Structure 1
Amino acid sequence: MIYIIISLIIIIIVLLCKLNKSKIKGHIGEIKIRLLLLKLNPLKYKIINDVLLKKRTGYTTQIDHVVISRYGIFVIETKNYKGWVYGNKNDEKWIQSFRTSQYKFYSPIKQNEAHIDALKYLLKRRINFRSIIVFSDEAVLKNKIYNVVNNKELLKTIKKYNKPVLSRKEVRHMYKTIKKSDIKSNKARRSHVKRVKKIS
């Protein structure tokens, strides 16, 4: 009897892992980026992870990472993908390609534009946003696009912006505003995930 119970538990765990494979992969990718961002000087860069904000439409948008500094507001979208990745700035859909299969996914550039628009609406600011798309180091980016990089290039990409464009007071204000506006409600977050699944 004990063996049957253990077998059932193993089967359930395997099924849950398969069902949530993409979700787990996404979380792993975000954790890797969180660890990388911790290497930034905390006196110069303020980091907020997994931000859920209201858009001007009333709907919500989820931002993987926001880094605020005197050098700009970095809005980071992470994609923990493998394989060859094809996509251009104006493409609606990008392609993840393997030897025997291909998958289309929504442009991460356009996805991040929606995130930036929500931040512009919240902060009442139009400029100094830096969009960065980060793919796992296992992805081969076949099109060279500005600020679309692999994990290993993230910190270098952030640090290439070294001219102050914001005051320390502005940095503190924006950090507090985003933190205060970040929706922490589990119900709201579940509702956001459900809506995204419907339209994707």
Structure 2
Amino acid sequence: MSIVFIIFLACIILYCIHSAREVDKYNKSQYRKITKNSFLDVEFDKGKNGEYKIYKSLFHYEMDGASFLFNCYLPMENKETTEIDAIMIHHSGIYVFESKNYGGWIFGNERNVWWTQALLGEGYSAQKERFYNPVWQNRTHIKYLRKKLGLFDGKIYSVIVFSDRCEFKDVTIFSDDVILTQQFQLAASIQKYTNKIIFNQEKINKYYDLL
């Protein structure tokens, strides 16, 4: 048996052990209990994968009394609905997450309707795609969330989370209640907001039950 084959076999065994641990960890998570999504669904669906990564970055806030919701549909006018990717209700406020599992270069301004994703091709060519301003998108979510909860002053943060596969090239945010981050920086990005106490546990449970 060659040394190359032994190394290959060892890598396969280690990968299987790691995967089994990840599946077990996932099956015990609140994300799994809330969404009922299978591990394979999350692995191969970009949207669900982004939501789960948000939860993985922040699940330790559950020990602080926080509650999470995913794929939350809220009523709008004309019997339509708007869908929020993820919500964390914490004693420091409510965090509304918009997950953008995009790669490439990202260009955007909070005041512009459209942002741009540039995917580099051969040489210096780039394929450019426009997408709706995620800050505005989340602003709509928060508008109807406030209406649902009867919460019309501050206390709600808009968190736009891009994947680690992208790079912010020219992105400008002006609002203090908007947090733009990548997945690997998410926990650090909201940490400074989580020290104050605005909601007690009774209020957190009330909002969770309403949603």
> TM-score normalised by the shorter chain: which range applies?
0.7 to 0.9
Distance 1:102 1:39, change over 3 A: same
Which residue in 1 is equivalent to 2:200?
Answer: 167
Letter in 1 for 2:92: Y
Which among 63, 74, 83 is matched to residue 53 of structure 1? 74
Q: Distance in 2 between matches of 1:56 and 1:47?
A: 26
Matches within 5 A, 1:14-163: 24-99=45-120, 100-126=126-152, 127-142=154-169, 143-145=171-173, 146-161=178-193, 162-163=195-196
Contiguous gaps of at least 5 residues in structure 1: 1-22, 179-200
Q: Distance in 1 between matches of 2:202 and 2:189?
A: 24
Q: How far 1:157 moved relative to its partner?
A: 2.1
Q: How far 1:72 moved relative to its partner?
A: 0.4
Contiguous gaps of at least 5 residues in structure 2: 1-43, 121-125
Q: How far 1:82 moved relative to its partner?
A: 0.3
8 Å CA contact 1:56, 1:121 repeated in 2: no
TM-score, normalising length: structure 1:
0.72
Letter in 2 for 1:147: I
Q: How far 1:135 moved relative to its partner?
A: 0.1
- Percent identity over the alignment? 32
8 Å CA contact 2:71, 2:85 repeated in 1: yes
TM-superposition CA deviations, 1:146-184 (whole Å, max 9, x none): 511000111122221111122322211111111xxxxxx
Distance 1:125 1:144, change over 3 A: same
Q: How far 1:46 moved relative to its partner?
A: 1.1
Q: How far 1:144 moved relative to its partner?
A: 4.6
8 Å CA contact 1:83, 1:98 repeated in 2: yes
Q: How far 1:39 moved relative to its partner?
A: 3.2
Letter in 1 for 2:128: Q
Segment drifting more, 46-55 vs 36-45: 36-45
8 Å CA contact 2:106, 2:166 repeated in 1: yes
TM-score, normalising length: structure 2:
0.69
Q: Distance in 2 between matches of 1:42 and 1:25?
A: 28
TM-superposition CA deviations, 1:43-78 (whole Å, max 9, x none): 332111111121245310110110001100000000
Larger radius of gyration: 2
Segment drifting more, 100-109 vs 151-160: 151-160
Q: Distance in 2 between matches of 1:61 and 1:36?
A: 25
8 Å CA contact 2:65, 2:201 repeated in 1: no
Distance 1:66 1:58, change over 3 A: same
The count of aligned residue pairs is 156
Q: How far 1:103 moved relative to its partner?
A: 0.2
8 Å CA contact 1:72, 1:129 repeated in 2: yes
Q: Distance in 2 between matches of 1:57 and 1:149?
A: 33
8 Å CA contact 2:114, 2:130 repeated in 1: yes
